[in-house]
């Protein structure tokens, strides 16, 4: 059997590989951890029935924004130039967890928005009779 001598270069390379592998494992593990509240879990704060009932209430009273040029999606931010509507009290009765939230209607979507941050937390389609455009 031939014995290999540990040269300084080999020791340094081995140390580097062990350090890199450890770092890669730690970063990979951290990235794999679920966030405290993912977009999918936020969307599930309302049942389908609640979404339908709230959509019917909002659709009867609020026309869609004309010419909105931003993407409506969970975790999106509503631009400051867009006025947030307060949720109607009967919509808050349907979903008490939304008290204090606002909303906007863009095309065929309703977005529930945290007023202080203007962050979109729930998006669902408009249902029910729509106002004349």
> For position 121, which CATH number holds?
3.10.450
Asked if the structure places residue 17 within a domain, the reply is no
Structural domain harbouring 60: 39-125
Q: What is the pTM of this model?
A: 0.65
Structural domain contains residue 48: yes
Predicted confidence (pLDDT) per residue in 10-39, tens digit:
777 777 766 766 666 666 655 554 444 444
Give the number of other Cβ atoms within 10 Å of residue 91's Cβ: 23
DSSP code, position 98 = G
CA-CA-CA-CA dihedral for 107, 112, 116, 118, to nearest 10: -40
The runs of H, that is alpha helices, within the chain are 8-32, 39-43, 48-61, 89-94
Tell me whether residue 24 is in a domain: no
pLDDT digits (tens, 9 = 90+) for 60-102: 998 888 777 888 999 999 999 999 999 999 999 999 999 999 9
Answer yes or no: is 113 within a domain.
yes
Sheet-wide strand order for 109-114: 85-86, 102-106, 109-114, 119-125
């Amino acid at each position: 059997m031939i014995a290999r001598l540990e040269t300084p270069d080999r020791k340094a390379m081995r140390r580097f590989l062990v350090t890199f592998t450890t770092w890669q494992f730690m970063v990979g593990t951290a990235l794999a951890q679920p966030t405290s509240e993912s977009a999918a879990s936020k969307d599930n704060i309302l049942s389908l029935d609640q979404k339908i009932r709230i959509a019917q209430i909002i659709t009867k009273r609020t026309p869609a924004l004309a010419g909105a040029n931003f993407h409506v999606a969970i975790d999106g931010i509503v631009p400051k130039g867009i006025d947030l509507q307060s949720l109607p009290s009967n919509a808050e009765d349907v979903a008490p967890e939304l008290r204090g939230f606002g909303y906007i209607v863009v095309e065929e979507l309703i977005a529930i928005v945290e007023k202080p941050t203007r962050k979109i937390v729930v998006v669902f389609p408009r249902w029910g009779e729509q106002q004349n455009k």
